Amino acid sequence: YVPVQSAESRTPALIQHKDAVRASAEASLRVYARLIRANAGIGNDDRVALGLSVDNRSRARIAAPASAPLLNVVCAFPGSHQLRFADENTPNSRAKPRGVTNLWLAMAISDYGCPTPNDPNAAMMVGAFTKQPAYVEHEIKDAGKTATYFGRWATARGLLGPWSLPRSMTIVAGGSAAPSGTKHRQVEPARENLRKAA
């Protein structure tokens, strides 16, 4: 290392040799670092003194969400709906609760003039949304019917919170006018997880 610092002795071959020696030393030190981290007889103070990271074992596991989302159908495009969501504890903020990664959205469609459903377990899972706004597209045959939405928060580990209150909106006739790239993301295992969580 020292000769490389001098302009008189610094050569490409010497630099290459220095880099190779350093890489070899780092590889050996990583082996020792793993052994030290795994050794229960070495205290955290000694680990910190060696410049090693210390596992934070005091972190509590993220629990299932205790609050429910608030859904709002803000627009009815031809063949699609635009929704926004917030947490019931912070209705004026778009931030999701701690530990929540996405919103699970279920939907039930009812005929014109029929009562809208109140049971989310009778609804169909349509997707998991991480960003706003959320767009849900509908089939042409459902034009004039009513779509009722239910949402619940989900963590990265698949823990689910309580269902939201239902929100309903009539499906407008016509093709979808949702902007490109904003379709809801289908979640294949969602229905199985939904059955397990029920």
Which amino acid makes up residue 60? A
Compute the mean pLDDT over every residue in the chain, rounded to the nearest whole number: 85
DSSP structure string for 156-175: TT--B-PPPPPEEEEPBSSS
Query: Which pLDDT does position 57 carry in this prediction?
Result: 64
Q: What is the number of other CB atoms lying within 10 angstroms of the CB of residue 85?
A: 21
pLDDT band at 175 (very low <50, low <70, confident <90, very high): low
CA dihedral 54, 56, 57, 61 (to 10 degrees): -150
Return the bridge partners of 155, or none: 100
Q: To which H or E segment does residue 11 belong? A: none
Q: Note if the pTM is more than 0.85.
A: no
pLDDT band at 43 (very low <50, low <70, confident <90, very high): confident
Residue 58 has pLDDT above 60, yes or no: yes
* Inter-residue contact 153 to 103 (CB < 8 Å): yes
pLDDT band at 198 (very low <50, low <70, confident <90, very high): very low
111-168: per-residue pLDDT in tens?
988 999 999 998 999 999 999 999 999 999 999 999 999 999 999 988 999 999 999 9
* Inter-residue contact 103 to 151 (CB < 8 Å): yes
67-85: per-residue pLDDT in tens?
999 999 999 999 999 999 9
Q: Which of 68, 181, 64 is nearest to 133 (CA)?
A: 181
CA–CA gap between residue 38 and residue 42 (Å, rounded)? 9
Return the bridge partners of 172, or none: 78
Query: Which pLDDT does position 10 carry in this prediction?
Result: 86
CA–CA gap between residue 124 and residue 170 (Å, rounded)? 17
* Inter-residue contact 183 to 135 (CB < 8 Å): yes
